[in-house]
Amino acid sequence: MGLLIMDEIKLKLFGKLLLTILCVGSSFFVFAQEKTSVTQDSKIQAKTPVNETKKNENVSDLSSNPYSTSDINLHSVGLAIGQTFLHGDFSDNGENQVTFDGYYDYTASHSFDFVANAHFSKHKFHNLYTQINGLAFSIKGKIFQFDSFAPFIMGGLGFYMPKQKRIIDGQNRESESKITLGTNLGVGTELELNRHFKLWLVIHHHNPFDIKQEVGTEIEGRYTKLLMAGFYTF
């Protein structure tokens, strides 16, 4: 009888111990699950604002500056073909004709470019001629930009060395070759075809300063070029 009572007591104690272990284990499991969930939520919350901030910054940058920084500090070289119209004394000893020009364009900003132009042509008229050599430098400014189309104006100074064969005292005489300063002005439109190619349609006017001669009158004249140019950008 005493043994039976002892067994019942032990069984009750074992049941209580087992129940206690189960309760403690369940509580620990629930706590661990809650901790894991909180950790994951904190990681997600920590990452999400950063991503959203970066996206917002990118959107803000794009909205405040629609032009990409990759559109500046670019170099372009171009070849132009068109008609050269002579004015003043230049037209007295030469005829208008189709000529070629070389261009270099550096995109300094979204609005302004540095432009260099080199040209050489010889315009004959009977036994006479007018030869024009020029290296002109300009600042080009966009008037506005609509999509890939941008009208522009440009102007600057250049170095010129015109030469003529003309009639002096009844004889054909060649003038002296001297370098002189001059001005140049231009107006045109630019069409960007893609990242590496663009086209210009431009009217470029050059006005070299007068050059005095030891024999005969000074050389004076100007000329205007109507050109279409193709550029490669790198």
Q: Of 54-68, 108-122, 212-226, which one has max mean pLDDT?
A: 108-122
Using H for helix, E for strand and C for coil, what is the string for 154-184? EEEEEEECCEEEEEECCEEEECCCCCEEEEE
Flag whether pLDDT at 28 surpasses 90.
no
Q: What is the pLDDT of residue 30?
A: 42
Q: What is the mean pLDDT of residues 66-79?
A: 80
Q: What is the SS3 assignment for 17?
A: helix
Direct distance between the N- and C-terminal alpha carbons of the chain, in angstroms, rounded to an integer: 105
Tens of pLDDT, residue by residue over 147-176, are 999 999 999 999 999 999 999 988 999 999
Q: State the pLDDT at residue 92.
A: 94
Token pair listed for 122: 């010889």
- Residue 46 predicted with pLDDT over 90: no
Q: pLDDT of 11-27, one tens digit each?
A: 455 556 545 554 555 45
Per-residue CA distances from 97 to 122, 133, 207 (Å): 9, 15, 18
The whole-angstrom separation of Cα 202 and Cα 27 is 83
